[in-house]
């Protein structure tokens, strides 16, 4: 599984990265985590508001930091 965090390196982006890594670990999911900070790459996903969570190329959440339980549901 590939999990990408889209954002320009803001505090919310860091919070999303941390919550996503914790959620995956608690579910026992092995995943590749990638931070995408290049605005051109972010725009390729059609995301206009960051942070965003992308799982295997599909945007799951944009513009907010979901809590860990919500992330777990998205990863299942």
Q: For the chain, what is the radius of gyration of the CA atoms?
A: 11
| DSSP β-ladder status, 52-55 and 32-36 | unpaired
Element (H, E) at 43: helix 39-44
CA 41 to chain CA centroid, nearest Å? 14
Q: Report, as residue numbers or ranges, the catalytic residues.
A: 10, 13
């Amino acid at each position: 599984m590939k999990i990408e965090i889209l954002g320009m390196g803001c505090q919310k982006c860091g919070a999303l990265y941390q919550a996503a890594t914790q959620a995956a670990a608690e579910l026992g999911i092995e995943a590749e985590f990638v931070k995408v900070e290049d605005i051109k790459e972010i725009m390729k996903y059609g995301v206009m508001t960051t942070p965003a969570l992308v799982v295997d190329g599909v945007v799951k959440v944009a513009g907010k930091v979901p809590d860990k339980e919500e992330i777990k549901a998205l990863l299942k």
